[in-house]
C-alpha cells in the first residue's frame, strides 16, 4: 500500500504557482520523498526527490517539513502542459521499488 495521502484533484491558473501537498506521516528516517507525474497516455516522469532538505531543479521545488511528515511540490509558473496526475511516493529503499498511490490530478486552466 502507498504510504502517502494526496488530494484527489486541484486546479491552477496558468502562470500561477501550483502547490501540491502530500502527507507521509509514517516515513522512516532513511526514506526519500519522490515526485513523479503522468501526463495523459504517457509513462510516469520523474520530477524531483529529497530526504530532508528542500530541493529545487529546473522543473519544480520540493519543500519538506522539518518533521518530514509532509511535503509540498511547487511548480512555480504552471503551464497548460503541466496538466497531469502527480504522484508523491515514499521510497521503500530496501525493497527497491516505487509504490504509487492515487496521486493528485492537477488541471491547469487558461
Partner 1 sequence: DTAVSQTPKYLVTQMGNDKSIKCEQNLGHDTMYWYKQDSKKFLKIMFSYNNKELIINETVPNRFSPKSPDKAHLNLHINSLELGDSAVYFCASSLEGVANEKLFFGSGTQLSVL
Please report, as ranges, the residues that interact with partner 1 according to CB under 8 A.
Answer: 30, 32, 34, 36, 38, 41-46, 49, 51, 85, 87, 91, 93, 95-100, 102
Nearer to partner 1, 74 or 98 (CB): 98
In the complex, the smallest distance separating the C-beta of residue 46 from partner 1, rounded to whole angstroms, is 4
In the complex, the smallest distance separating the C-beta of residue 110 from partner 1, rounded to whole angstroms, is 25
Closest CA to 11 of 80, 110, 108: 108
Please name the residue that has the C-alpha cell 520523498: 33
CA–CA separation, 101 and 85 (whole Å) = 11
In the complex, the smallest distance separating the C-beta of residue 64 from partner 1, rounded to whole angstroms, is 13
Closest CA to 33 of 75, 10, 66, 62: 62
Amino acid at each position: 500500500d502507498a504510504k502517502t495521502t494526496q488530494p484527489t484533484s486541484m486546479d491552477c491558473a496558468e502562470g500561477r504557482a501550483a502547490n501540491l501537498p502530500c502527507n507521509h506521516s509514517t516515513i522512516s528516517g532513511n526514506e526519500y520523498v519522490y515526485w513523479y507525474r503522468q501526463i495523459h497516455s504517457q509513462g510516469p516522469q520523474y520530477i524531483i526527490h529529497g530526504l530532508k532538505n528542500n530541493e529545487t531543479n529546473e522543473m519544480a521545488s520540493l519543500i519538506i517539513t522539518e518533521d518530514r511528515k509532509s511535503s509540498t511540490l511547487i511548480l512555480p509558473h504552471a503551464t497548460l502542459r503541466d496538466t497531469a496526475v502527480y504522484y508523491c511516493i515514499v521510497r521503500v529503499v530496501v525493497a527497491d521499488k516505487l509504490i504509487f498511490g492515487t496521486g493528485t490530478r492537477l488541471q491547469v486552466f487558461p
